[in-house]
Structure 1
Amino acid sequence: MSLISFLLCTQVDTNAQQNVHPQSTAYEWPKDVDVKKKLDQWQDQKFGMIIHWGLYAVPGMIESWALCSEDWIDRDSTISYDEFKKWYWGLKKDFNPVNFNPDQWAKVGKAAGMRYLVFTTKHHDGFNMFDTKQTDFKISDGPFKNNPKADVAKYVFDAFRKEGFMIGAYYSKPDWHSEYYWWPKYATADRNNNYDIRKYPWRWNQYKQFTYNQIGELMNNYGAIDILWLDGGWVRPRETVNDEVLSWGARIPEWSQDIDIPRIATMARKAQPGLLIVDRTVHGPYENYQTPEQRIPEKKLDHPWESCMTLANNWGYVPNDQFKTPAKVIQSLIEVVAKGGSLLLGVGPKPDGTLPEEAVQRLEVIGKWMDKNGAAIYNTRTTDNYKDGNTYFTASKSGGVRYALVCLKENQALPQVVEWSGNVPQKGSKMTLLQTGESVKWKQENGKVTVSIPSKLLQEKNTYPAWAFSFKAAE
């Protein structure tokens, strides 16, 4: 099968997969004091980076999903499924990221204004980006094994930790390479395990122990971890399947794919006190914050959540991908934060271990805006009146300062005045334009606030995705 023909097939598939996790509504607040403290700390960060990097970077295709036989997956019909699986898993011998430089990744992320990391230690294909002892299907057992940084996750975590990031480990609960999940005795029809767990409990218990052991390695051997981000929400107790899961359109087996998250959580939090566990879409005590994918909820939510969205069209590296503009990302971040969430932005490194230049350039522009306006984003919480037209509002964590973030259309000529209703400043108080740090004139009539933009700013040729204003709000 030619690489070009396969890429043409999988480009469409990525878009089909982007909305697999619509927003949840059920939420259970944690009771553990350390977890509550960590959750509050995480809610201060607001902007994070998720990195998908694995075998799929080598041909530059959709991450893992081409291995899965479901209706939305399309593969070259001239090659058998077994041959395709052999080809895909054989990419292990070609994955040699000789230019891997996690320090550069971390510096780019910090310069962009990001403050927490989620790194894919293993995606659904089962290829491990850490030096697990449970399998040889890992980056440290291929052509990269003699590199000083062969234990990739360790060096990624170290680099981002050094830049002050909170550290998250993404881990896929399903593992399509494990014979305890996809048993070679049977065909691999879809994303689920391919044998009846009720008939073969020993095999599933082996898989549960395999998962426990791998997460134990991550929790005990890789320094301080703040977040365990568990993907693959179909691997769950069957009684927890809800309308959200059913909306994915995937088959629901008659048996329960329960891997005993309570046991895993107890072990993980013994090693990492206060660890946030994000068992995506499995509502309850181990979904410490929720993760709508590739979308922003329609309204403000009062429990912790993040929108995980891609900087380009794909989670991993795909050649000639289409990247979002910095303005689009900044305005999405503003909307997310005003609605009570955080933005986790996806970036996929190239197979040689470097970040795509298009990603670096866009993150640099985002960072310049964040340098000036970050006070309206970080350490903020929601307001009752969080939006008026194209203006969003946030409040400092202490509640003493209010922020108005006015989103502008791309390449829009700078208006002489901006207006909003609600969130009125205290009478006679000072209002500051964060972009320049200078005071601006404002007036209030009948509940509408009108702000005059400084003339020297209007004379600039720069365009701005948003203006942020700080003030003390009238109660």
Structure 2
Amino acid sequence: MKKYTLLLLFIYVSLNNVAQKQQPSYKDQWQFAAKDSSFYVTAEQQKELYATETEIEWFKDAKLGIFVHWGPALLKTNVLSWGRNGERPGAGKPAKNGIKPVIYDNLYKKFDPKNFNADKWMQQIKNWGAEYIVFTAKHHDGFVFFDAKNTEYSIMNTPYGKDICKQLADAAHKAGVKLFWYYSQPDWFHPDNLREKHYENYLPYMKQHIQQLFTKYGKINGVFWDHLATKYWQWDSYHILKDLKKWQPGIISNARVGFGWPLEDRGDYDTPEQSLGPVNHHRYWEACLTMTDKWLYSPKGPIKPYETVLSMLIQVAGNGGNLLLNLGPNGKGEFVEKEVVEVEKLGNWIKKYGNTIKNTRRGIYIGGDYGASTQIGNKLYIHVLQKRANNTEVAIVLPQLPTKIIAAKGITEGFKNHEIKNGKLILHFDKNLDNIVELTLAENPNQFERIETWKAKPISKEEFIVSESSFLDKNKKGTVIYNTKGNVFSEGIHLKKWWEPRKDDKNPSLSLDFTSAKKVNTVLLSENMRSHCVRDFTIETKDKNGNWNTIYNGKTIGEGLRIKLNGNAIYGIRLNVFKNTKAIQITAFNSYE
């Protein structure tokens, strides 16, 4: 009897496991076949949609754009669309909390951005050194910022009652700012989106919007789709893109046009989100990053300081991309003053040194612990982002170039000279600054292969013991950042785990005690992209007697801070944070021999 019971239990568990494996995921319900065969495309048809090099050249020259996420949702939440606790067609996960739809979907009736001034926005964007704006004409929640004739859920039915998209288009044309419409194909408000009558009711509804946005507002330079976990044929993407190229000659499109295309490269460029993108990608890309912790207006969120935004811009430009920096306007229609202060500093830097970024392409030197490089013609710009520990020689060592250096000069203060020694290019400085060096080369470096500058292999987690002053919960212990696959230096890294101390920790610290002496050359630090909040910190190293010695004092960490050590043997390394504006969230603290 006991064996029989065990057998039944085994059969039940097995069948239950099979049933669970066969059970469709949440996103599976939003994926279905095309209406008819005309919605599917061949590889040749997909190639017809790519922008030419001439059409996308201005975009590659621009390097900086401003993303604007906005909407009535800010009256109740700081999470656009995802703050709505309703069904999420096209998404990979269901909503578990948020504002009830009956409340969220009626917030537009109180939305009155009476201080909105499109001309002021465009002037600010130009002051910040940006060349284009991407504006959320419609996000996933379905609210539209234009005078749509097929829905009441629009800006026209708010107390404000005026077409925001029309004003933005007119102001952009007048100011010479390029304009993209962001348009979400999934729509969590429309009852037929990705449901039974999707092709009969929703698709015509969406096409009316698209035709209006790209035929009634003058020149539109690009489109930023956001397809979530859907297929391209569900939006009839091929025919829509063909129409866009007819209505707006030269228009460029991002990659979020739906999965399932015959060729891997969708759209004209890739869009890594809340990540600085890859260091050596096979095509152009645009990193979408937020100025705070959220895409929408986040009044209590941490604001990225100018220093880290500049570092991100340099890293992105040096590795083949644009920075699309998001600012969320407030309910009055104005950009947040504290965010503006930091972005204006970025604009001032661009006024002085923009020629080393704008109109350039990624440099022959691949990004590494030194920083990043850009190039134009026979000019190569070395952007030094690396910081130096105490008593460390201020010099950058790179592989020798495959062509002769005709001249070398410092664009910023601090450069002394260069030398070629033992197959290496050595740049000498007299100050530990954010240096830019201009190298005039005998030949255009475009004709040569890019050069790897650093094999980023950190000391293995088996070779040190992690300890922290405190941790918020078991998922925020110091060890979690070393359990993430691929936790090495890379602009493409997008970590989901971090060390976070308790809020009542008065002296937060994270320590690595090495099992044996290590000759550390570089330390890499990063914060969670949504929480660049450290404002005062030190790095200490442990000597053979167990004493901790301060070797670096810093103010900001941000993303990918590299600190060069002198290479002497040490027995441990420690991060101490003395001042922070929000919760500390460290995603990387790696040592390299």
**What SS does structure 2 have at the residue aligned with 1:66?**
coil
Q: Is the 8 A contact 1:289 1:304 kept in 2?
A: yes
**What SS does structure 2 have at the residue aligned with 1:322?**
coil
Alignment pair present for 1:230 and 2:225: yes
Following superposition, the deviation at residue 72 of structure 1 comes to: 7.2
Distance 1:139 1:402, change over 3 A: same
Determine which of 313, 321, 324 is the counterpart of 1:341.
321
Inter-partner Cα distance in structure 2 for 1:144 and 1:413: 57
Distance 1:289 1:135, change over 3 A: same
Inter-partner Cα distance in structure 2 for 1:209 and 1:29: 22
Inter-partner Cα distance in structure 2 for 1:124 and 1:214: 14
The percentage of aligned residue pairs carrying the same residue is: 29
1:189-200 alignment to 2 at 5 Å? 193=194, 195=195, 197=196, 200=197
Determine which of 330, 353, 356 is the counterpart of 1:373.
353
Q: Which residue of 1 aligns with 2:181?
A: 169
Following superposition, the deviation at residue 73 of structure 1 comes to: 4.2
Q: Which residue of 2 aligns with 1:186?
A: none
Q: Which residue of 2 aligns with 1:326?
A: 306
Q: Which residue of 1 aligns with 2:253?
A: 277
Deviates more, 1:55-64 or 1:382-391: 382-391
**CA deviation profile, 1:143-199 (whole Å, cap 9, x unmatched):** 011xxxx11012223323333322111001011111222xxxxxxxxxxx3x3x4xx
**CA deviation profile, 1:264-296 (whole Å, cap 9, x unmatched):** 112221110121122416355751111111112
Inter-partner Cα distance in structure 2 for 1:445 and 1:176: 62
Q: Which residue of 2 aligns with 1:250?
A: none
Inter-partner Cα distance in structure 2 for 1:394 and 1:338: 5
Q: Which amino acid aligns with 1:122?
A: K
1:39-438 alignment to 2 at 5 Å? 39-67=56-84, 68-69=86-87, 73-75=95-97, 84-145=100-161, 150-181=162-193, 193=194, 195=195, 197=196, 200=197, 203-237=198-232, 258-280=234-256, 282=259, 284=263, 287-396=267-376, 399-409=377-387, 417-422=394-399, 424=401, 429-435=406-412
Inter-partner Cα distance in structure 1 for 2:427 and 2:255: 44
Q: Which amino acid aligns with 1:400?
A: N
Q: Is the 8 A contact 1:435 1:467 kept in 2?
A: yes
**CA deviation profile, 1:418-447 (whole Å, cap 9, x unmatched):** 3231364975733232236x9853333223
Distance 1:371 1:425, change over 3 A: farther
Q: Is the 8 A contact 2:405 2:440 kept in 1?
A: no
Q: Is the 8 A contact 2:292 2:302 kept in 1?
A: yes
Following superposition, the deviation at residue 102 of structure 1 comes to: 2.2
Could you list the runs of 5+ residues in structure 2 that have no partner in the other structure?
Answer: 1-42, 444-593
Q: Is the 8 A contact 1:424 1:473 kept in 2?
A: no
Distance 1:391 1:33, change over 3 A: closer
Q: Is the 8 A contact 1:423 1:473 kept in 2?
A: no
Inter-partner Cα distance in structure 2 for 1:259 and 1:298: 29
Distance 1:359 1:30, change over 3 A: farther
Following superposition, the deviation at residue 371 of structure 1 comes to: 1.7
Distance 1:90 1:220, change over 3 A: same
Q: Is the 8 A contact 2:412 2:435 kept in 1?
A: yes
Q: Which residue of 2 aligns with 1:446?
A: 422
**What SS does structure 2 have at the residue aligned with 1:258?**
helix
Q: Is the 8 A contact 1:307 1:342 kept in 2?
A: yes
Q: Is the 8 A contact 2:69 2:328 kept in 1?
A: yes
The CA RMSD measured in Å over matched residues stands at 2.9
Distance 1:38 1:160, change over 3 A: same
**What SS does structure 1 have at the residue aligned with 2:144?**
coil
Inter-partner Cα distance in structure 2 for 1:424 and 1:333: 24
Distance 1:414 1:211, change over 3 A: farther
Inter-partner Cα distance in structure 2 for 1:431 and 1:353: 47
Following superposition, the deviation at residue 105 of structure 1 comes to: 2.0
Distance 1:413 1:264, change over 3 A: farther
Q: Is the 8 A contact 2:415 2:429 kept in 1?
A: no
Name the structure with the higher helix share. 1
Inter-partner Cα distance in structure 2 for 1:163 and 1:276: 20
Deviates more, 1:63-72 or 1:160-169: 63-72
Inter-partner Cα distance in structure 2 for 1:169 and 1:52: 11
Inter-partner Cα distance in structure 2 for 1:29 and 1:327: 41
- Structure whose CA Rg is larger: 2
Inter-partner Cα distance in structure 2 for 1:274 and 1:428: 38
Q: Is the 8 A contact 1:51 1:349 kept in 2?
A: yes
Distance 1:400 1:174, change over 3 A: same
Q: Which amino acid aligns with 1:468?
A: I
TM-score (norm 2): 0.61
Inter-partner Cα distance in structure 1 for 2:243 and 2:182: 17
Distance 1:447 1:109, change over 3 A: farther
Q: Is the 8 A contact 2:279 2:367 kept in 1?
A: no
Inter-partner Cα distance in structure 1 for 2:399 and 2:380: 12
Could you list the runs of 5+ residues in structure 1 that have no partner in the other structure?
Answer: 1-25, 182-192, 238-256
Q: Is the 8 A contact 1:443 1:450 kept in 2?
A: yes
Determine which of 408, 431, 436 is the counterpart of 1:468.
436
**What SS does structure 2 have at the residue aligned with 1:143?**
coil
**CA deviation profile, 1:290-315 (whole Å, cap 9, x unmatched):** 11111123431121211111111111
Q: Which amino acid aligns with 1:165?
A: V
Q: Is the 8 A contact 1:424 1:474 kept in 2?
A: no
Inter-partner Cα distance in structure 2 for 1:277 and 1:425: 36
Q: Which residue of 2 aligns with 1:187?
A: none
Q: Which amino acid aligns with 1:179?
A: P
Distance 1:473 1:420, change over 3 A: farther
Deviates more, 1:334-343 or 1:30-39: 30-39
Q: Which amino acid aligns with 1:112?
A: W
Inter-partner Cα distance in structure 2 for 1:357 and 1:414: 40
Following superposition, the deviation at residue 131 of structure 1 comes to: 1.2
Q: Is the 8 A contact 1:96 1:352 kept in 2?
A: yes
**What SS does structure 1 have at the residue aligned with 2:83?**
helix
Inter-partner Cα distance in structure 1 for 2:52 and 2:170: 22
Following superposition, the deviation at residue 473 of structure 1 comes to: 3.0
Distance 1:387 1:422, change over 3 A: farther
